Amino acid sequence: RRHGLRADIIDYRATTGGATETPVDSPIVRASLAACRAHGIADPGPFGLQGACDLVHFNGIGARGVVVGPGNIAAAHKPDEFVPEAEFLTSSLIYRDIALAMLRDEAR
């Protein structure tokens, strides 16, 4: 309201569901691994993630995705959750590069 915006919640879906897996040879996985390596992540994976995330909803409609993010999972979802500033900045560059790679791939 303070900024003149309004949003309505039209649906709610709990982040539950079965496991998701994106094939390692898919464009989004290749782009993500390349972007991570380009920004100094020595061992970007791929790894499995045990936990819930919104990827299950996207996978449910046929979209493919990956979970990429800064910080330590041990600090996630805690009252004092934090992400080191350098990791936050690096992650923004990784996200940018993934998006650019996917846009280039789509243009072909």
SS (H, E, C) the chain: CCCCCCCCCCCCCCCCCCCCCCCCCCHHHHHHHHHHHHCCCCCCCCCCCCCCCCHHHHHHCCCCCCCCCCCCHHHCCCCCCCCCHHHHHHHHHHHHHHHHHHHHHHHC
Judge whether residue 50 has pLDDT over 80.
Answer: no
- Report the pLDDT value the prediction gives residue 21, as an integer from 0 to 100: 86
Query: Domains of the chain (ranges plus CATH)?
Result: 27-107 (1.10.150.900)
Judge whether residue 17 has pLDDT over 80.
Answer: no
Can you tell me the mean pLDDT for 72-96?
Answer: 92
Judge whether residue 15 has pLDDT over 70.
Answer: no
- Report the pLDDT value the prediction gives residue 86, as an integer from 0 to 100: 94
Condensed to tens digits (0 to 9), the pLDDT of residues 23-48 reads 999 999 999 999 999 999 999 998 88
Mean pLDDT across the chain, nearest whole number?
Answer: 87
- Report the pLDDT value the prediction gives residue 101, as an integer from 0 to 100: 96
What percent of the chain has a predicted confidence (pLDDT) above 90? 44
